Every structure is written in structure tokens, then in C-alpha cells.
Amino acid sequence: MKHPEAAAGFVADSAKSSWHDQALWGVRTKRDAAVSAIPEWEELREQGARIKAWSLAHLDDLLVQFEAQCQQNGIVVHWAADGPEHNRIVHGILAKHRVKKLVKSKSMLTEECRLNEHLEAQGMEVIDTDLGERIVQLRHEPPSHIVLPAIHLQKEEIAETFHKTMGTPADMTDETELTRAARKDFRERFLQAEAGVTGVNFAVADKGIVVVCTNEGNADLGAGLPRLHIACMGIEKIIPKFDHLSVFTRLLARSATGQPITVYTIHFHKPKPGGEMHVVIVDNGRSALLGRKDFRRSLGCIRCGACMNTCPIYRRSGGHSYMATVPGPIGSTLAPSKDPKTHDSLPFASTLCGSCTDVCPVKIDLHQQLLAWRGELVKMGYGDRKKIRSMKLAGKVLSSPTLYKLAGIGARIALRGPRFVLPSEAKKWLTNRDLPPVPEESFRARYRRHQK
């Protein structure tokens, strides 16, 4: 399925779609307010971009340094070439400790590798502990946003899910009451868990430190209570120095939700006394992406979600329409690098307005990449045939003054008439909008008249 078809259902419910649009625009507005309090914001973004570029140019050395530092601190390091290997490693560690129940905080990497399915198939119970992730887990859905996993749902829908799964009263729809009910339900699960799995926001090479950022305190409990902690990270999470954390902790939350910093920024340096800590470093296509000059900068992404919150397509079509682990503009450039055939419609799900590039805290050239992907995909033989044909036609018309003139006359006549005679593609565009009235004369005619 392609993005337009996948978005159709979400867009059809126009009340919900505009609620979604407004909710995310609200997050964007908060981001703007937080950013405006920092006069050096643009320089800070530049520093973030430079650290990431340097890191990508030295990834191999940094990973080796990180590994050595971790080992020195008593942390066990594993390497996985792809998703299945990652899942096997995590399962192996858990099985060795005879773990039956585990808690997991947010990690897009484990979503990408489908870790939950793998562990559940082996009889383990995995509880996602980020509230938004838990909500979608209970509904058997994937997250629709990387920071706000349940943003596609309204509170009545969540109340219904809680009623069915946790036995809360059917009419309990108050956000605070629902959150408290979840808190109570979670507490038991945290105390019973035999292992905690977390993602990684930043991995510091020179000290062997893993940093995890949360607002809810779930990673803190998940990693702090059980004896065993496994942190899963993509190779691109590495940053060179401890001091560089200041740049990214200043950028991340302001870009993500407009907070000056996440409530908790946890630094794991050593396993807890009597406990064990493992780090699993995963490639899964990233090293190949590093070799693609036009697209490698997307590996600098710190997963703040700002590009989604600002994207006019994402806000109206919802995260599920992307059918990729990471949706929105960043997802639309990451996904085709792994599987161009499946994801060939994503780079076209953009207006190329450039808003994503403007808000990106590490200055990834997102809209340029989406444009470049369009060219790549068409060269590879993918993309919408109709679009390619119409582009070729447009190229011919726009390069010939005579054809352009004729097309102008044709369009002025056709658009004056009733809409139902238009071709079906044009009618689709006109479902929720209309064009301004057609001018009486063309620009050329007017120009000629004024010259006289």
C-alpha cells in the first residue's frame, strides 16, 4: 500500500484529522517558545550538526573506544549486524537469567527490530512502560509518533482501552484519573519484572556512558529495580565526548516538546551493585546508509520528532499512514534506504516546504533528501507511474511557449466549467478545497494590452 491510500482512512475523519493537526501544531508552538528563550539557538544547532558530522566520520574509532570504556566499567558489550541478530542476543541474555517478565522503556530501535514479537513468541512477557507505548501495546497497534506514540488517539478511545484491559470504569475519561490508574497498574509490573530493557539517547565514547532521557521516570524504574539491564542502541547514537552531552541535552527536549530539558536525564556508567548491564550495538542497514553521500546526514537524527510536529502532511495524515517504524519527514528519508520498493511513496508525501529542515536540531537537510530520493527512486524504476508521466508532460509544456499558451487557454476554459467534467485526479484534489476564480485574461494578454 502507498502513503495516499494508507492515509485515506485517517483523513476521511476530518474532525479527528484536524484535532490531530492542531494538537501537533500546539507542540510545534511550544517548541518555538522554548527555542526563543535561547539567544544562541542557531549556533547551538550548528554545534549539534558539527558534532554529529564528526561522529559519523569517526564512527568506527568511536565505537571501539566506547566498547573499551564500557568494558572497563563492567558493562558487557554486544554487536548485532541486523534486527534478527539483535533479537537473538537480547533473548540469549534474558534466557540465561531465566527471565519470564520484563519491562521496556521507549526504544525505536527495538520497534525497528520487532523485539517484542520475538520475545513474546518465546514465551516472555514484555511490558512497554512509556504510557503512550503501553496504550498502543494494549491496542495491538504500532506507535504513530516517536515521542508521542498514542497521539493518533483521543481520550475516549484510550478510556475504552483501559476499561477493557485494566477494568477502569467505562465512563472514566479524565486524563489525570486514567494516568493514575495506569500508574497503579504499572507499579506491580515494575516490582515483578526480572529485567529492564531501555533504548539509548546518547552513548558517550570517551567515558563509556549511556544516556537515556524520559519524562515519566519509567526508564529509571525499569533499569533501577531489576538486577538485569539491557540497553539497545543503533551505531549512530555515539557522541565523542562527555562535554558534548550539554549540546544535545540543550537541543533535544526543546525541539521535542518545548520543555527546557526532559524531567530525567539518566547517565548509566556502571552496572548497579550486584547487577548486570549489557549494551547491544546494532547496525541493521546503518553502515550502508553511511556510504550514501546524499543521505548519510539522516544518521545524525536524535529522534526529537520536531520534523513530524511541523510537517503539514504528517499532521493531517497521521503516523500510521507512513507504515514505517519512524514516520514523518525523517522516516521518509530513512525508510527507502532500507527498502526502496516498499517505501517508494514516502519521499512524495511531502510538500517540500522545508519546515522540517528549519526545525531540525541537528540541521539535517530533510527536504533536500526527500527531493533527492524522488530522483533516485524514479531512476530505480519505482514511484507512481502517473506522476512520472504527468511530470514528463509538464516538462514538455513548460519548455515550449506555444504549448504553454495553448495549455493556458485550455485550463481557463476547463476551470470555468462545472467541476464534474474534470479528470478524476483533479477532482480528488478538489474534495476539500477549491481554486480561486479563473482570471478573465492571461498574463501575456494583459502584458500586451499594457504595452500598447
Partner 1 sequence: MTEARTSILAALRENRPKGEADLVLEDIAIQYEDPFVSFSAMMKKNGGLVVAMDSAYSAVADFANRCGPDGVLLEGELAVAENAAIWIPFRDEAERARPFLAETLAVIVRRADIVSNMAQAYARIGTGELPGYGVFMAGPSKTADIAQCLVIGAHGPIEFVTYLV
Binders of partner 1 in range 184-243 (CB under 8 A): 186, 190, 207, 209, 215-218, 220-221, 223-225, 235, 240, 242-243
CB 16 within 8 A of CB 154: yes
- Smaller CB separation from partner 1, 4 or 217: 217
142 binds partner 1 (CB under 8 A): no
271 binds partner 1 (CB under 8 A): yes
- Smaller CB separation from partner 1, 246 or 351: 246
Report d(CA 253, CA 243) in Å as an integer. Answer: 18
* 259's grid cell: 520543555
Report d(CA 131, CA 120) in Å as an integer. Answer: 20
CB 175 within 8 A of CB 159: no
Q: Give min distance, CB of 30 to partner 1, in A.
A: 10
Q: Which stretch binds partner 1 (CB under 8 A): 94-102, 119-127, 179-187, 394-402?
A: 179-187
Out of 269, 338, 387, 405, the residue judged to bind partner 1 by CB under 8 A: 269
Q: Which stretch binds partner 1 (CB under 8 A): 92-100, 113-121, 246-254, 336-344?
A: 246-254
CA 302 from centroid of its chain's CA atoms: 10
Q: Give min distance, CB of 25 to partner 1, in A.
A: 11
Report d(CA 123, CA 91) in Å as an integer. Answer: 11
Cα Rg, the chain, nearest whole Å: 25
Q: Give min distance, CB of 390 to partner 1, in A.
A: 36
Q: Which stretch binds partner 1 (CB under 8 A): 80-88, 319-327, 347-355, 430-438?
A: 80-88
247 binds partner 1 (CB under 8 A): yes
CB 109 within 8 A of CB 236: no
Q: Which stretch binds partner 1 (CB under 8 A): 45-53, 325-333, 346-354, 399-407?
A: 45-53
Report d(CA 356, CA 358) in Å as an integer. Answer: 5
CB 331 within 8 A of CB 346: yes
65 binds partner 1 (CB under 8 A): no
Question: In sequence order, what are the beta bridge partners of 203?
Answer: 210, 238
> What is the x/- site pattern for partner 1, positions 25-44, by CB under 8 A?
-xx----------xxx--xx
Q: Give min distance, CB of 261 to partner 1, in A.
A: 4
Out of 65, 249, 317, 369, the residue judged to bind partner 1 by CB under 8 A: 249
Q: Give min distance, CB of 202 to partner 1, in A.
A: 12
Q: Which residue from 71, 70, 52 is spatially nearest to 209, judged by alpha carbons?
A: 70
**Secondary-structure percent of the chain, ordered helix, strand, coil, rounded to 5:** 60, 10, 30
Count residues binding partner 1 (CB under 8 A): 92
- Smaller CB separation from partner 1, 261 or 352: 261
Cell 497497534, residue located: 141
322 binds partner 1 (CB under 8 A): no
CB 361 within 8 A of CB 252: yes
276-315 residues in contact with partner 1 (CB under 8 A) are 281, 283, 287-288, 290-291, 293, 296
- Smaller CB separation from partner 1, 150 or 307: 150
Strands in 82-182 per DSSP E: 101-104, 125-128
- Smaller CB separation from partner 1, 215 or 442: 215
331-360 residues in contact with partner 1 (CB under 8 A) are none
Q: Give min distance, CB of 40 to partner 1, in A.
A: 4
- Smaller CB separation from partner 1, 40 or 117: 40
63 binds partner 1 (CB under 8 A): yes
Cell 486514567, residue located: 178
Out of 57, 380, 409, 430, the residue judged to bind partner 1 by CB under 8 A: 57
Give me the half-sphere count of Cα atoms (radius 13 Å) on the Cβ side of residue 64: 3
- Smaller CB separation from partner 1, 49 or 335: 49
149 binds partner 1 (CB under 8 A): yes
Report d(CA 249, CA 271) in Å as an integer. Answer: 23
Q: Give min distance, CB of 304 to partner 1, in A.
A: 15
> What is the x/- site pattern for partner 1, positions 353-392, by CB under 8 A?
----------------------------------------
Q: Give min distance, CB of 12 to partner 1, in A.
A: 20
Which element (helix H / strand E) includes 78? strand 76-80
State which amino acid sits at residue 143. P
At 108 the three-state DSSP class reads helix
90-109 residues in contact with partner 1 (CB under 8 A) are none
Which element (helix H / strand E) includes 359? helix 355-359
State which amino acid sits at residue 332. S
Q: Which residue from 26, 25, 18, 12 is spatially nearest to 316, judged by alpha carbons?
A: 18
Q: How far is CA 426 from CA 416, 420, 421, 435, in A?
A: 14, 10, 10, 11
